[in-house]
Chain A
Amino acid sequence: MKFGRIVLPALNLFALVLLWELAVRLLNLPSFILPAPSAILAKMIEQAPALWRNSLFTLYESVAGFGLSVLLGVPIAIAIAWSSYLRNTLYPILLLFQSIPKTAIAPLFILWFGYGDTSKIIIAFLVAFFPIVVDTATGLMSADNDMVDLVRSLKSARWQEFLHIRLPYALPAFFSGAKVAITLAVIGAVIGEFVGASNGLGYLILLSTSSLQTALVFACLIILALQGIALFYLVELVEWLVLPWNRKAQPYDVETAFNAAGRGG
């Protein structure tokens, strides 16, 4: 069990890195095309302060954007589930916004909110927002009919139906949306930094690409990947803690992690 889930993937990864190192050395590839893992590691240590500072920026932007998407997405999901009138008005608008590529409107947000972190937070929020709304609304609306009838037969108010039945029922769906959203938020933040920024890993990638410091680009990529994984598991951990009644699967399930991250791709 432990072997299959932890040791084996680790060995695979190690073999892959070794292969990479050997390939670079044997084929004598120039380091600005493909740096060796050892060179990347050396660069990471050398540039540690800059990497640390910039990754904190990106982390802050993605988490803030994600937080905003939860803060606004959940009430909108409730509104959608609450009345068919709101559902019919809000859904088409949401869909319209969702079908505009965020990369395409990112320059606009830089124009409106400047080069600072506000524009990145808003882009991260926009990217993360949709899965939260859709998954939560779906969860809210798919509560068991008999259950709802039972509560209604007790003269329940509408808010009681939501508080006692629909909201708890929707929590697992919300969390699966949140896991997609958190990985998307990182992407959103980096998109924002690509378009215009003076801080962050996205900015550092652009800067080092233009000066052919490919090892630094790879260092940024590795940190971004680690950041995404850490955030994903953080959400999964929160889910595990908040939903003790829903602990069927083990909290650190590689397969679900992979699937959710794949959806975010």
Chain B
Amino acid sequence: MRHVCKIYPPRSRRGQPVLAIADITFDVIQGEFVSIVGPSGCGKSTLLRMLAGLLPISGGEICVNGYPVRGPHSDIGIVFQSPTLLKWRSVLDNVLLPIDILRRSRSEFKERAEELLRLVGLWDFRDDYPNVLSGGMQQRVALCRALIHDPSLLVMDEPFGALDAFTREEMNLELLKLWAQRRKTVLFITHSIAEAVLLSDRVIVLSPRPSVVDSIFVIQLPRPRTAHMQYSDAFQEYAQRIRERIGIARVVVEPVDDASS
């Protein structure tokens, strides 16, 4: 099984068409952890929505498990920046939401929900409403919800961007633990270079709009990764090189942007 992703979408809007994503091509291998970084407005979220089948692709093709995406395909788990939990459902019912939508039997997935919630340490909160949980805890519930229907692909759109630095680091390590156990393919969109390096097998750097793949870094740090690695020379070097690429991508494209606007 191989995730071949290929996108060439000039996405037009009312009035003037805006070329959000010019030409993005990359593969993600099954079980791989890939991060996408890039300057804001480079179309990362657009990419995610096309991958989930929520936005039509204007050109090119996205394949998941070898099948081209034509619309929503439910073989995907999504975690957004905000937890987007349903406040009228208990924690457990929130985790089981995809099961209700897919109209599968709840009892079949009860065990799995328990396992996931225990893994993130929230089983004791299963009957509480989300509003009693902290931001980090809510995002953990969102993560469980994204995994409940056992999708082969987990897509995360700056999932920890709204959390404080400590919680964020904790969540990163927890995510790695979960990933090591489940071996999902993860596509992780982030603004943080350090986060990308810490988590990923590969880091894809996008250029500003209209975006193309600027460069791809293979991160060859040993696993399991620890928070401590962030202070190693190898880590710092990766981070530095990625930062440079984002910087260069900006400098090269910005004058063109100015001329056109």
Contact = CB atoms under 8 A, between A and B. Distances in A.
Interface of A: 144, 146-147, 149-156, 160, 164-165, 168, 171, 243-246
Given A147-B86, A149-B49, A245-B131, A155 B100 contact: no
B76 to A, nearest CB: 6
Contacts of A246: 87-88
A171 B78 CA distance: 26
A10 to B, nearest CB: 34
A150 B54 CA distance: 9
Given A146-B82, A149-B49, A153-B78, A245 B88 contact: yes
A147 B73 CA distance: 17
B101 A151 contact: yes
A113 B71 CA distance: 53
Nearest to B77: A153
Contact of A150 (B53, B78, B88, B129): B78
A112 to B, nearest CB: 42
B4 interface: no
B165 interface: no
A168 B88 contact: yes
A164 B100 contact: yes
Contacts of A160: 101
A249 to B, nearest CB: 13
A191 to B, nearest CB: 37
25 contacts: A144-B84, A146-B80, A151-B101, A152-B72, A153-B53, A153-B54, A153-B78, A154-B72, A154-B74, A154-B98, A154-B149, A155-B71, A155-B74, A155-B102, A156-B101, A164-B86, A164-B97, A164-B100, A168-B86, A171-B88, A243-B88, A245-B88, A245-B129, A246-B87, A246-B88
Most buried by B among A154, A156, A160: A154
Interface residues of B, number: 24
Nearest to B98: A154
A151 B102 CA distance: 9
Most buried by B among A149, A165, A243: A149
Given A154-B101, A154-B102, A160-B101, A165 B86 contact: yes
Contacts of B76: 153
Contacts of B100: 164
Contact of B73 (A144, A146, A155, A164): A155
B93 to A, nearest CB: 10
B52 interface: yes
A174 B86 CA distance: 17
Contacts of B52: 149, 153
Contacts of A153: 52-54, 72, 74, 76, 78
Contacts of A245: 87-88, 129, 131
Contacts of A147: 84, 86
Given A146-B80, A154-B98, A244-B129, 7 more contacts: A150-B80, A155-B72, A155-B73, A155-B101, A164-B86, A164-B101, A245-B131
Nearest to A167: B88
Contacts of B149: 154
Contacts of A150: 78, 80, 84
Nearest to A153: B52
The 9 A-B pairs with the shortest beta carbon distances in the complex, nearest first, are A153-B52, A154-B101, A146-B80, A245-B88, A155-B72, A146-B84, A168-B88, A147-B84, A155-B74
A150 B48 CA distance: 12
Interface string B160-172: 0000000000000
A241 to B, nearest CB: 14
A66 to B, nearest CB: 24
A196 B49 CA distance: 60
Contacts of A244: 129
A159 to B, nearest CB: 11
Nearest to B54: A149
B155 to A, nearest CB: 9
A165 B84 CA distance: 11
A220 B78 CA distance: 60
B154 to A, nearest CB: 12
A244 B102 CA distance: 26
Nearest to B80: A146
A171 B76 CA distance: 30
Contacts of B53: 153
Interface string B128-142: 010100000000000
A49 B226 CA distance: 81
B45 to A, nearest CB: 10
B197 to A, nearest CB: 27
Interface in B51-110: 52-54, 71-74, 76, 78, 80, 82, 84, 86-88, 97-98, 100-102
